[in-house]
Amino acid sequence: LPAASTELVRVELHVRRGDHDDAGARSSSRRAQQGERSRSEARKLLGSIGTEMLEAIARRKPPDVVGRDTEIRRVAALLSGEERSGVALVGPRLAGKTAVFEGLLAQQVVPFRARPVFATSGARMVAGQSGFGQLQERIGEVMRAAEQLDAVLYFDNLGDLFAGKSGGMEDLATALRPWIVEGRVRIVGESTPAEFEQHEKHHATLLSCLHRVGIEPLDTAVTRELLERRNAHARRRAGQRPLLSPAAIGPLVELAERYLVDQAFPGKAVRLYDELCAVHEHDVDETGKPHVIGVHDVHRAFSLRTGIPVFLLREDERMRRDVLEQEFRRRVIGQHEAIRRVIETLCTIKARLQPPGKPLANFLFVGPTGIGKTEVAKTLARILFGSPDRLLRYDMSEYTDRYAAERLIRGSQRDDGELTRRVRQQPFCVLLLDEIEKAHPAVFDLLLQVLGEGRLTDARGQTTHFHNAIVIMTSNLGAAHRPRQGDGAGFTRASADDAERERRHYLEQVDRHFRPEFVNRIDAVIPFSSLDRQEIAQVARVSLERIRERAAFVERGTVLELGDRALALLSEGGYAPAYGARALRRHLEDQLVAPLA
């Protein structure tokens, strides 16, 4: 070609190449904008089903995590790699699983500066979905968003993912399985060891894809250091808020260790600390400065929470034995030996000399009906835990069938057993098992574990602790054939020989009826003696006082007066040796209350 033509072609090619480059740049820009829009929509979707943890931690500025460097480094390594994997933080309740993960995020490790982390739950992920198709579609949308952003999804309860749905819907684990097994998303979840092992039986494929990181409870020394740092951190940030005095931290940790045996450090101590700070939030001293929470405040708050009286919690406060005896005498007629043995046990508990790893005490009260066995248990609950409501009572005549033991610890699919549920809800209690001799043999097998080790494990692997309970069993064994006293009417004052003969009779009945391994786990078998004439008269007077306190007399201002002779006649007419004081109370209802009505 001529030179001019060649130059023209070169210019035209250059122009077209430039147009092509501009078009490519515009296309790349559009793709980038679309990608950014898509990422924004993905973040918005995840924000609708979860909470952005990095932002929340930046706002809260929690104190540094103590004693968890190894666990934090391991979780960071597992989540920082190119391979998208899952992590299961497995440890007891309150061991600090959440604190480990939040501690990792607070350190602002490089991968997490650009990688979003959302705290969510199974319920939030499927909220508003009404069928299996909608569930699958919703899970797919959430997982695609997490995959696109390379986000971390955090579940504070892995069990949420395995909770079956009603109406034919499969559980969440089925919908999530391919995303986790194929390594397309990163997840972190918390679980207790028992729950994790339970779910492993049915979802082994899914859970085998999660790296299990054990979170063990901290010891008391590290927990004490954690609270000291937490206190110093709060002092720097709070300014005028009440704080714990350094001298109160040790007693707080000690009380948590001694009594909250069903919970783990450091969480059980941290909860006590937070409760104390909240209770004294607005307290000031005489100069107007924030109240300093001292040792006395710790003991008082712990007493209110558990019901345990302050004199049992404080080393420097002695227990008035005479006051305890007076309280029992005010409510229980007679039974001096039984009351003495119970008060001795209270002294042992106060001195912290009771054997570890079992209930505070195991008693078997034996004797005829209606002579004060239940009233002693009620009074003990009132003295030791502040209220008769702390008495958990079971009539063992209702647990005679072969399914009785299962009812006590298994319950239904969703509920705990009848015994384990109540003791877990109220571990500071007096557990009263009435007429224990009537229980099915399988129930005694359970009680061997309770009396000996102070715990029961149910079908779901949950352990219920009885270390802060007093177990009282009652029995009427031998009451029908007990030795006669005095003239045989059961109404004269028994001699010392009569009392000893009656005591031996009941102990022989216990040895004859119960297995040796069961009796060996009982701290004291306490016989209750029959009531004599004077004691029956006392029961009548106490019963009369309670009748006077009834609403009809109080509201109308009516005064009920009864002469000594009339009261004596009612006492003699109502007492039946085989039925004790209950027969007398029924007699008063029939012969006194009914005619008055």
Name the least confident of 214-228, 229-243, 367-381, 437-451.
229-243
- Percent of the chain's residues with pLDDT above 70: 87
CA distance 73 to 488: 80
Residue 293 has pLDDT above 50, yes or no: yes
How far apart are alpha carbons 339 and 127 in whole angstroms? 58
Q: Which residue has better confidence, 555 or 86?
A: 86
What domains are defined for the chain?
49-214 (3.40.50.300), 220-306 (1.10.8.60), 321-530 (3.40.50.300), 534-596 (1.10.8.60)
The H or E element spanning position 525 is strand 524-527
Measured distance CA(174)–CA(183) in Å, rounded:
15
The pLDDT value given to residue 578: 66
DSSP, collapsed to helix, strand or coil, labels residue 186 as strand
Instruction: Say if CB 86 and CB 187 are below 8 A apart.
Output: yes
Q: Which of 196, 187, 234 is nearest to 215 (CA)?
A: 196
Start-end of H helices in 126-266: 132-149, 172-181, 193-200, 204-207, 220-238, 246-259
CB atoms within 10 A of CB 70: 10
pLDDT at 340 over 80: yes
Q: Strand, coil or helix: what is 330?
A: helix
Contact 275, 242 (CB under 8 A): no
| Residue 560 pLDDT > 70 | yes
Closest CA to 182 of 151, 209, 216: 209
Cα–Cα distance, 288 to 517 (Å, whole number):
62
Tokens 């607070």 label which residue?
Answer: 106
> What pLDDT is recorded for position 485?
57
When mean pLDDT is compared across 24-38, 274-288, 298-312, 360-374, the lowest value belongs to 24-38
User: How confident is the model over 34-61, as a mean pLDDT?
Assistant: 88
Alpha helices in 410-495 (DSSP H): 418-425, 441-453
The identity of residue 242, as a single letter, is P
Q: Please tell me the predicted confidence (pLDDT) of residue 574.
A: 80
CA distance 346 to 40: 65
Which secondary-structure segment (H or E) carries 19? helix 3-49
- CB of 103 within 8 A of CB of 280? no
Q: Is the pLDDT of residue 277 over 50?
A: yes
Q: Does 6 score more than 60 pLDDT?
A: no
Confidence check: pLDDT of 527 > 90: yes
Task: Output the CA–CA distances (angstroms, integers) from residue 197 to 192, 201, 415, 460, in the order listed.
Answer: 9, 7, 19, 10
Strand-pairing partners, residue 597, are none
Q: What is the pLDDT of residues 501-514, one digit of tens each?
A: 888 999 999 999 99
Residue found by looking up tokens 């030996």 in the block: 337
Lowest mean pLDDT among 34-38, 321-325, 537-541: 34-38
At residue 338, the pLDDT reads: 93
Amino acid at 492: T
Reading the block at residue 6, the tokens are 């060649």
One-letter amino acid of 43: R
List the structure tokens of 322. Answer: 């005479």
Q: Mean pLDDT throughout 131-143?
A: 85
Region 106-126: mean pLDDT is 84
Give 188-212 pLDDT, tens digit per residue.
Answer: 999 999 899 988 988 898 899 999 9
88 pLDDT more than 70: yes
Residue 580: strand, helix, or coil: helix
3-class secondary-structure state, position 433 = strand
Positive or negative, the CA dihedral 44, 48, 54, 57 is: positive
Mean pLDDT of 311-330: 90
Average pLDDT over residues 170-190: 88
Rounded distance, CA 473 to CA 396, Å? 10
Tokens 């239904």 -> residue: 412
Tokens standing for residue 56: 């929340």
> Sheet of 391-395: strands edge to edge?
391-395, 429-434, 469-475, 361-366, 524-527
pLDDT band at 30 (very low <50, low <70, confident <90, very high): low
Q: What is the mean pLDDT of residues 469-473?
A: 98
Q: Which amino acid is at 143?
A: M
- Please give the mean pLDDT across all residues of the chain: 87
- Evaluate whether 420 touches 409 at the Cβ level (below 8 Å): yes
Residues 30-46, mean pLDDT to the nearest whole number: 77
Q: Specify which residues 362 forms β-bridges with.
A: 471
Cβ neighbors of 8 (< 8 A, separation 6 or more) are none
562, exposed or middle or buried, with CB in 10 Å at 0-12, 13-18, 19+?
middle
CB 181 within 8 A of CB 205: yes
591: DSSP letter: I
Sheet containing 210-214: order of strands: 50-52, 117-120, 152-155, 186-191, 86-90, 210-214
Confidence class of residue 488 from pLDDT cuts 50, 70 and 90? very low
Residue 378: count of CB within 10 angstroms of its CB? 20
The 10 Å CB-count burial string (b at 16+, else e) for 389-411 is ebbbebebeebeeeebbbbbbbb
> Among 43-52, 176-185, 224-233, 553-562, which is the least confidently predicted range?
553-562
Report the chain's terminal Cα–Cα distance, integer Å: 134
**How far, CA to CA in Å, does 81 sit from each of 304, 335, 556?**
49, 72, 81
pLDDT in tens, 564-575: 888 888 888 887
Whether the pLDDT of residue 148 is over 70: the answer is: yes
Question: With the C-alpha atoms ordered 583, 584, 585, 588, is the resulting torsion angle positive or negative?
Answer: positive
Rounded CA-CA distance 465/426 in Å is 10
* Residue listed under structure tokens 């004596």: 568
Residue, of 444 and 285, whose pLDDT is higher: 444
Q: Is the dihedral of CA 59, 65, 69, 71 positive or negative?
A: negative
